[in-house]
Structure 1
Amino acid sequence: MLIKRLEVKGFKSLKDVVWEPGSLTILIGPNGSGKSNILLALSFLQNIASGNLDNFIQENGGITRVAWDGSVRFIKVQLQSFFEIFALPTDTYYSLELALRNDTYRILKEICSEEYYDNDEKTNKLNTLIYREAGVSKITGSNGLSDIAVKIKNRLESFLSIATTPHQYDTSLYILKENIADTKIYRHLDTQSQANIRRPLITRFNKQIDSDGQNLVNVLHTLYSENRDFENDINTAMRAAFGDEFDRLVFPPAADQLVQLRIRWKSLKREQSMLDLSDGTIRFLFLMTVLCNPEPPSLIAIDEPETGLHPSMFPIIAEYAAEASKRTQVIFSTHSPQFLDAFSDCDVTTTVTSWENGETKIKNLDGEALKEWLTHYSLGTLFLSGDLEALA
């Protein structure tokens, strides 16, 4: 899945935002400009598709804390995405609108449709998959669009979230639901001494890192042990970051049914455990595991990936991110000009965020004008000078 366009209204600092990310996108702006809220909007969508909308709202302080300035009457999110269904290129459109009243909300409108391509040209024929408005509830099942008695436990959840099988619901609807629910948004990685990421874990077959990153060891153990290309990618990245002293990762059993991660260095007799590793080493391993995953989620978004890392690691991250963006959509949020600099030679969509009159404003940079400037300056230099935003 590729998100082509995301429109958000009334959500957090995103009063009225339209964003068009690319396969590889860098969000950059000063602290407090709303970068993290764009990633939170992606998480909002992910929870809508997963059937966790109400939990998401409560975990974020309730609907008045989620709403812009606590005062808007409506929150709307609208997504245009692209994927192939049975090798047929398809644009899908999904929108959900919430009506707010005091400390409560209800789903006012939910619409989903699709449009196929014919010889790379849009057919201009929309096929409706979900229609929910003013008491009308329709969803596309195996027999087409029809009125339904929706089997949904919580009326505060989306119709999209119930499309759990392609046999009962339209294949396009099922694929869209699965793709949105499969997105991974990484907003904080706890690497403190007592964090689970540093501890031996019950051995589990995991191929995806959870949103909190704490199952990193299980994912590394699974992929590093069974996939030779992944093993080579991790070893190459670690040697690029730490030199030829790096030997390999090892996973000795810690106790009954527990696995741990250790790093073997050529110059040391004793392997280093996760408890011995610096925050930066763990964070680098986390980033490389996410980016080198041979079966990535439908979208990867990482907030402030530069945290705790030496700038010499940034070009390595950029190289692997560019490669990962060929398999999935990759989004980074940063306020580091040095991190942005590392992507100067990449085909990257750069989005600049700013804070104006109490709301987040975003601008994508103009490609041709940006290319001309980059023959003389780096992305980071342009950002620091203020010229980057002027190109948008």
Structure 2
Amino acid sequence: MLQTLAIAHYRSLHGLVLPLQPLNVITGDNGSGKSNLYRALRLLAETAQGGVAASLAREGGLGSALWAGPEALDRRVADGRIPLQGGPRQAPVGLKLGFATAEFGYAVDLGYPPPMRSAFALDPQIKAEAIWAGPFLRSANALVERHGARVRRRSGNRWEGMEEGLSLFESLFTQVADPQRMPETLLLRDYIRRWRFYDHFRSDADAPARQPAMATRTPVLHHDGRDLAAAWVTILEIGDPQALAHSVEDAFPGAAVGYEEHDGRLVLRFHQPGLLRPLSMAEVSDGTLRFLLLAAALHTPRPPPLLVLNEPETSLHPDLLPALARLIVAASARSQVWVVSHASRLIAALEQAPGCQRLHLHKEQGRTLLAGQGLLDAPAWHWPAR
């Protein structure tokens, strides 16, 4: 699992290094930086998909995503002794993202290209990347280093140059992930690609999850829930149908979910006590549909190494939150889980689970900080040099 997540100069995350546990609950007031932390993690995942520059473009470009405060922070500003003001920049502009497990780590440094006459003069470039063995980067444990268009790998006690013409707009994962020459890069790329994010479940009348799904094995629910019926039936056939049924019973006592197959399409039926016929997904409430989506996502027969839920309590009645918490805790036995939440009842229920860590964020001088983390409390971390 991830042991450390590090972010520098991304929006309000001026310099944040977080320790992680099997189950992590991210909390904080509105505007404290929870969404920025979630977006930074998604941006980090895009490095393995080849879409980091496109993701930044969707955010308004690198200039929009960069820390907007002064380069150097001064305690006297917070005390009101001196006004907030900028000054001559001492270091290059850089947006940095990285993580580490007990076995390996990865970091990337993005910045502006050199001044040039081009319509893409502000398109972000990858300035440096590094892969290392162990919980934090040192000169002795670096395995792969990238500086601009050049990449090298450690071979025994020496460095071996691998490529010198890399595209500056794509990570090394999409360019040099060779199983023979660069096995570390390939393994790490595949690890990141298995991370899973859920934050876009629709429950409106036209939601894809309310429609029949093609009868094709679906061990991983799509991020928008469009294949709910197929994912549900896949769990029944190759997953843990008893645990899935228990989750439904836990949330809706006496209820059960069945299915029908018509002309190669699957339709779920929600059986509820007191009703003479089952309800289709087009008829169930928004909260019921959303809980079933979460159940299908968390009972996946193919658990990811990292599962991230952004405000899963949306549309759910407060009485469903304890059942949701039990569902999340059970999933954390198979995957490392992140939950970003505002719901005090859900947070309180999750905190009772062993291995759960609450990360409470707050703002100071415009930057996001982890409550209770002093200067000496953060995990060890070093960024790769450009």
TM over 0.5: same fold?
A: yes
Amino acid at match of 1:356: E
5 Å-filtered alignment, 1:125-136, equals 126-133=140-147, 136=150
Superposition deviation, residue 284 in structure 1: 0.8
Match of 1:108 in 2: 127
Q: Does the Cα contact within 8 Å between 2:148 and 2:168 map onto a contact in 1? A: no
Secondary structure of 2:124's counterpart equals: strand
Partner of 2:57: 58
Partner of 1:341: 348
Q: Residues 21-73 of structure 1: CA distance to partner in whole angstroms, max 9, x if unpaired?
A: 21001001112211121111111111001211122122222222222229972
Conserved? CA contact 1:79–1:94, under 8 Å:
yes
Aligned residue for 1:361? 369
Counterparts of 1:206 and 1:183 in 2: how far apart (Å)? 17
What's the TM-score, normalizing by structure 2?
0.81
| CA RMSD, Structure 1 to Structure 2 (Å) | 2.8
Q: Which has the higher contact order (CA 8 A, sep 6+)?
A: 2
For the structure 1 residues 137 and 166, does the alpha-carbon distance in structure 2 shift closer, same or farther, using more than 3 Å as the test?
closer
1:310 aligns to 2:310 (yes or no): no
Deviations 1:354-386, CA, capped at 9 Å, x for gaps: 1222222223689xxxxxxxxxxxxxxxxxxxx
Query: After the TM superposition, which residues 320-335 of structure 1 pair with which residues of structure 2 at under 5 Å, given as runs?
Result: 320-335=327-342
Residues 344 and 46 (structure 1), Cα distance of their counterparts in 2 relative to 1, 3 Å cut: closer
Matches within 5 A, 1:151-230: 154-162=167-175, 164=177, 166-170=179-183, 172-227=184-239, 230=240
Amino acid of the structure 2 residue aligned with 1:273: S
Distance change (3 Å), C-alpha of 1:217 and 1:365: farther
Distance 2:149 2:251 in 1: 58
Q: By how many angstroms is 1:135 displaced? A: 5.1
- Check the 8 A contact 2:351/2:358 in 1, yes or no: no
In the comparison of the two structures, how many residue pairs are matched? Answer: 343
Q: 1:258 and 1:345, CA in 2 relative to 1: closer, same or farther beyond 3 A?
A: same
1:81 to 101, 114, 128: 101
Aligned in 2, Cα 1:141/1:267: closer, same or farther, shift over 3 Å?
A: farther
- The CA deviation at 1:165 is 5.3
Partner of 1:119: none
Counterpart contact for 1:5–1:19, Cα < 8 Å:
yes
Partner SS state of residue 324, structure 2: helix
Partner letter of residue 350 of structure 1? Answer: R
The letter for the 2-side match of 1:76 is K
Tell me which moved more, 132-141 or 92-101: 132-141
Is the Cα–Cα contact under 8 Å of residues 211 and 282 in structure 2 kept in the other structure? yes
- AA aligned to 1:24 is L
Alpha carbons of structure 1 residues 208 and 150: separation in structure 2 relative to 1, 3 Å: farther
Counterpart amino acid of 2:252? F
Change (3 A) 1:344 1:52: closer
Q: Counterpart in 1 of 2:42?
A: 43
Deviation at 1:302, TM superposition (A): 0.6
Question: What one-letter code is carried by the residue in structure 1 that aligns with 2:130?
Answer: I
Please give the secondary structure, in 2, of the residue aligned with 1:214. coil
The residue type equivalent to 1:257 in the other structure is G
CA distance in 2, matches of 1:350, 1:323: 17
Deviation readout 1:209-262 (Å, 9 max, x if unpaired): 2233333222112222333xx211121111111111x13321332xx4322222
Q: Which residue of 1 aligns with 2:8?
A: 9
Structure 1 residues 52-61 or 234-243, which shifts more? 52-61
- Are 2:236 and 1:237 aligned? no
Write 1 or 2 for the structure with the bigger share of strand: 1
SS in 2 for 1:261: strand
Q: Deviations over 1:280-307 (max 9, x none)?
A: 1111112222222232111011111111
Look up the equivalent residue of 1:67 and give its one-letter code. L
Change (3 A) 1:74 1:294: same
Q: Distance in 2 between matches of 1:251 and 1:61?
A: 45
Change (3 A) 1:139 1:162: farther
1:217 counterpart letter in structure 2: A
Distance (whole Å) between structure 2 residues aligned to residue 38 and residue 190 of structure 1:
22
CA distance in 2, matches of 1:99, 1:315: 44
Task: Give the alignment's TM-score, normalised by structure 1.
Answer: 0.79
- 1:382 corresponding residue in structure 2: none
